[in-house]
Chain A
Amino acid sequence: MGNGGSNSIKTVGLAPKLDSGFYGQDIISVRQFSRENLAYIFGVADEMRAVVKRVGSTDLLKGHVLACVFYEPSTRTSSSFVAAMSRLGGSVIPINEVRYSSVTKGESLADTIRTLESYADVIVLRHPEAGASQVAAEYARKPVINAGDGVGEHPTQALLDLYTIQSELGQVDGLKVAMVGDLRYGRTVHSLARLLSLYDVEMTFVSPEILRMPLDVMNEVKAKDRLVHETYDVHDVMADVDVLYVTRVQRERFADQAQYDSVKDYYVITAELMDRAKERMIVMHPLPRVGEISYAIDDDPRAAYFRQMENGMYIRMALLAAVLGKA
């Protein structure tokens, strides 16, 4: 059948192996990701984890330069990117506290980006305005990675969250995921819900009435035929949840102290609550936490939030290597 020389591969039911589909790409939004390229990036992150554990670092990006441009501070995210680039053998130009002018924002952002890309091979941008990363990406010829732009997106956080779920529990399909706390203003839970809707996941949104998950996110999730529930009390989900993703409910969101006091206990994770949970499940939090997860459960093996942070470095290593065509 056919000529003897050619060899074609047909794949059924498997993610095809992507060859640097990320090379030169900007990482701006979780909407860029499909199950296939998520599987690919997670595979690279696994390799990065193995390298770091075994030998600490690699020379994969030696000679490459990352410009880490933070218009607003975030020690956690910036140090994670700096560590990631360093462990890949590359160097970093850290640019913090850039002077930000709301009047000339578009122009000065573009000039800043254009200047930086003459020294650097890849730019990581953190900016207080939603959509800033998209603007930067349009002006830049080098890859731009969005490290958070206002109330817009923080895609690398969503990726490390999803990667954590897969690493800890083995797969994402079939899981019950509960997101707890401030779901209205929580950028991380919006992005995570969007990513999770790519999988066969049942989601429960646990929040006070005034902080419910916005309708557009709910509709996006339901449009993928995923089961979605809402409740106001985390006790309702503890018995069979696989992933408990906790975020902070700020007192400032409420009209008065009394209103806040009447609901705050529904969103705090205590050791007693964990006694009700399955043996095999995880508790996650984008950190910093301020009391919504009791310190008493830090040593519970189901507390995954510090491992989650470590995964952030591996995911960022994977993304840096992928957009520079080295993975």
Chain B
Amino acid sequence: MTTLRLPGLIDVHVHLREPGGEHKETLTSGTAAALAGGVTMVLDMPNTYPPLVDAATLARKGELVAQKALCDVGLFLGATATNAMGAAALAAEAAGLKIYLDQTYGPLRMRPSGDSPGRGLAALLTHFSTWPAARPIAVHAEGLSAAMAIGLARSFGRRLHLCHVSRADEIALIRAAKASGAALTCEVAPHHLFLTEADARRLGPYGAMKPPLATEADRTALWANLDVVDCIATDHAPHTRAEKEGEDPPPGVPGLETMLPLLLTAVAGGRLTAERLVELTHGAPRRIFGLPVQPDTWVEVDPDARYTLVAEGLHTRCGWTPFAGMAVQGRVTRVVLRGRTAFEGGEVRVQPGFGRVVEPVR
């Protein structure tokens, strides 16, 4: 039997839902899902309840991580219309600044919808000019918003990271911007690499997220342009089955446990090399966000194990996956984090609080 040993994966875009959404996921269940997926470090998004936007909410979240996390967690600071100065003062402790330029789940949208495009620009200008230039600004920006964000970042010399790029036109924009020298990085989510709008029709609300699943042409374009993609990040966004089957299902799908098996399947199929996989899920995330090395940390996988992804046995509290039924090749057998076996035999082996808050090292 061959064992493939990789560095611990770093997922730079997750929603662990705590505080305020513990019925969907907690820091403990979410980091359990991470370990099960070979992920040893996650960067958690700020659209919690209350949102993470100042020193008090940052400190409180840090305490929760220290008590409840099983793997290491970095924290994004959310941009609001009024917190630019305060946010900049916290930059050394945060994974980055997160700006929501389009509507998604949560309270943090920066750009008012509809008619007047001029409103909201002032707040964005303040953030782009005050946030330290050495630290990244991550944006949820789809389509035209992405072009706007790139323009803002270039005007102020800021490092922009575009979240969950999903479409051919966005990838073309990124290629052009990078070619012209922009300090731009981007991430793609596994669901946009492996599912399309056809799957969205099949899955109904369980296939709904922001940005939504796109066309087969978009999916093909993402694979064809993987060279301009910096990292793969899940945008792990769990909601309960009841919520997904309710009146107004919120957008979002879990992804922490399924990312590595899906990518290993791509390696087995020759679409990706193992080296590129490591770069997309470890090397680039570390460099972009200035994250520390976790010493004595690695993931062991059985690259030949073939099985089907199912909802049973998942560690995410929401208990389902949009990839249920997919045949994959590659199973996580063991995760070692800071010298301790944190996951083995399908089970978490460390206690809540083993995970630590991660701060950037530069």
Partner of B287, one of A14, A169, A174: A174
| A12:B92 contact, CB within 8 angstroms | no
Interface residues of A in 1-41 (CB under 8 A from B): 1-2, 4, 6-14
| B362:A174 contact, CB within 8 angstroms | yes
A117 within 8 A of B: no
- CB contacts (< 8 Å) of B3 on chain A: these are 7-10
A233 within 8 A of B: no
Closest CB-CB distance, B257 to chain A, in whole Å?
A: 21
For the complex, what is the distance from the CA of A43 to the CA of B286, rounded to whole Å? 20
B361 within 8 A of A: yes
| B6:A171 contact, CB within 8 angstroms | no
Q: Contact flags (1/0) for A237-261 with B, using CB distance below 8 Å?
A: 0001010000000000000000000
B343 within 8 A of A: no
A173 within 8 A of B: yes
Closest CB-CB distance, A202 to chain B, in whole Å?
A: 11
| A170:B361 contact, CB within 8 angstroms | yes
For the complex, what is the distance from the CA of A143 to the CA of B304, rounded to whole Å? 44
Q: Interface size bucket, A side?
A: 20 to 34
CB nearest neighbor in B for A12: B274
A280 within 8 A of B: yes
Interface of B is mostly: mixed
- CB contacts (< 8 Å) of B286 on chain A: these are 171
Interface of A is mostly: loop
| B4:A10 contact, CB within 8 angstroms | yes
| B295:A12 contact, CB within 8 angstroms | no
Partner of B5, one of A11, A170, A173: A11
B2 within 8 A of A: yes
| A280:B278 contact, CB within 8 angstroms | no
For the complex, what is the distance from the CA of A173 to the CA of B287, rounded to whole Å? 8
Q: Contact flags (1/0) for A168-199 with B, using CB distance below 8 Å?
A: 01110111000000000000000000000000
| A280:B304 contact, CB within 8 angstroms | no
Closest CB-CB distance, A255 to chain B, in whole Å?
A: 40
Q: Contact flags (1/0) for B274-296 with A, using CB distance below 8 Å?
A: 11011100110011001011011
Q: Contact flags (1/0) for B1-19 with A, using CB distance below 8 Å?
A: 1111111000000000000
A121 within 8 A of B: no
| B2:A8 contact, CB within 8 angstroms | yes
Partner of A12, one of B5, B293, B296: B5
Check A14/B134 contact, CB under 8 A, given A43-B295, A43-B296.
no
Closest CB-CB distance, A237 to chain B, in whole Å?
A: 15
- CB contacts (< 8 Å) of A13 on chain B: these are 6-7, 274-275, 278-279, 282-283
A230 within 8 A of B: no
Closest CB-CB distance, B223 to chain A, in whole Å?
A: 21
| B361:A171 contact, CB within 8 angstroms | yes
- CB contacts (< 8 Å) of A6 on chain B: these are 1
Partner of B4, one of A4, A12, A169: A12
A72 within 8 A of B: no
| A14:B7 contact, CB within 8 angstroms | yes
| A169:B6 contact, CB within 8 angstroms | no
CB nearest neighbor in B for A9: B3
| A14:B298 contact, CB within 8 angstroms | yes
- CB contacts (< 8 Å) of B296 on chain A: these are 43
- CB contacts (< 8 Å) of A1 on chain B: these are 2, 304
For the complex, what is the distance from the CA of A9 to the CA of B6, rounded to whole Å? 11
User: Can you list 16 A-B pairs with a CB-CB distance of less than 8 A?
Assistant: A7-B3, A9-B5, A11-B5, A12-B5, A12-B6, A12-B274, A13-B274, A13-B282, A14-B298, A43-B296, A174-B362, A242-B362, A279-B92, A280-B92, A280-B361, A280-B362
In addition to A2-B2, A43-B295, 17 A-B residue pairs with Cβ atoms within 8 Å of each other are A1-B2, A1-B304, A8-B2, A9-B5, A10-B2, A11-B4, A11-B5, A12-B4, A13-B6, A13-B279, A13-B283, A43-B296, A46-B295, A171-B293, A171-B361, A173-B287, A242-B362
Q: Which residues of B are in contact with A by a Cβ distance under 8 Å?
A: 1-7, 92, 134, 274-275, 277-279, 282-283, 286-287, 290, 292-293, 295-296, 298, 304, 361-362
